[in-house]
Amino acid sequence: MASARLRHEHGLTLLRDAVNAANGVVRRSLAGTLNEDDAGTLANALEKLRSATNWLEGSNNFESAHQVLDHFGRVRRLLFADDCALAYAEGVYQHTCPVALAHNRVGLSIGAIIEESECSICGLDPDDEECFHVTGRYYDNQQCVVVVTKASMDHVAIVERPDFPDARLAAVPMSTAAMREVLGDKHQPGVRLTCDRCLSKCSGIVWPMRL
């Protein structure tokens, strides 16, 4: 697990890089020079901003990252509305948007006995004295992580703040009944639905483990 200092440093790096990329899209939009890659650039920036909220959770910069995420979520909805649709799979709508997911502060923690692992940078055991890489840091644009090569799994727990900050939900399902409460009884599952969440005022962060 990365130290609080390294978490904070990495979170600030993600925040800075994402803001720079997203602001580039905004500048090109104002200049009328958007290119075919800008939708993807902004989508990637939002993923980084979600990650930044994860790494900055518990720090004084968390709320700033949250506000920046909301801001650029709105920008994406205004510039690339076609990309802001609810995912639909196996008869269920799902929120997969990083902005929506970042507001639901739950994560996953794996209980396991790690028998063998290696550093993603050098391939050595992270406890080997010849491995000088720090988990969470980037080396030549590659993030250092511990790669578990052999383990005995025990359980997966839902927690508020996982040891690995990005161990979060990839999607949140939305029941058909809940959708019909909003859209009416004539709503038919499978119809493409554009999400307008980011056009409304943020309703705040949800901390399910504290409810």
Banded pLDDT at 165 (limits 50, 70, 90): very high
What pTM was estimated for this model as a whole?
0.81
**Phi and psi at residue 163, in whole multiples of 5°?**
-60, -40
Average pLDDT, the chain: 92
Percentage with pLDDT > 90 across the chain: 72
Percentage with pLDDT > 70 across the chain: 99
Residue-wise pLDDT for 12-41, tens only, equals 999 999 999 999 999 999 999 999 999 999
Residue 55 has pLDDT above 60, yes or no: yes
* Both structure tokens of 81: 């509305």
Contact call for residues 127 and 133 (beta carbons, < 8 A):
no
> Whose structure tokens read 């990495």?
10
With b meaning 16 or more CB within 10 Å and e meaning fewer, what string describes 132-156? ebbbbeeeeeeebbbeeeeeeeeee
* pLDDT value of residue 188: 82
Strand partners, 88: 93
Phi-psi domain of 91 (left: phi exceeds 0; alpha: psi -120 through 50; beta: other): left
The kind and range of the H/E element at 53 are helix 38-56
* pLDDT value of residue 23: 98
Instruction: Please enumerate in sequence order all residues whose Cβ is within 8 A of that of 202, keeping only pairs 6 or more positions apart, or say none.
Output: 70, 103
- Give the separation between CA 69 and CA 63, rounded to whole angstroms: 10
